[in-house]
Amino acid sequence: MEVVYNACYGGFSVSEYVVDRLGLLDCRAIARTDPRLIELLINEGSKKCSGECAELKVLDTETPWFEIREYDGYETVICYKVKPEYGETKDVRIPG
């Protein structure tokens, strides 16, 4: 499972280039695991795809269970080998 996260202070955001290329209504209308975003980020690079004050990167989590923790916009991806119990973590993303 690949996931996009922000690797600098400032917060997750995508560029207008990404919004236009993917036909989004706004920069918040995309999932971190969207294959189109991941492919665009890998092919075009972080500089072109990251929004203002962002440095987007792709991480292969090797598991579908992960959590994104944020401090002042800088994000850390926490991966789990087994599915966490309900309520065990604050913000677990489990793809459908």
Query: Closest by alpha carbon to 18, among 8, 26, 7?
Result: 26
Q: How far apart are the first and last CA of the chain?
A: 12
Instruction: Tell whether the model's pLDDT for residue 93 goes beyond 60.
Output: no
Whether the CA torsion 66, 64, 8, 21 is positive or negative: it is negative
Instruction: Tell whether the model's pLDDT for residue 4 goes beyond 60.
Output: yes
pLDDT in tens, 13-50: 999 999 999 999 877 789 999 999 999 999 999 999 99
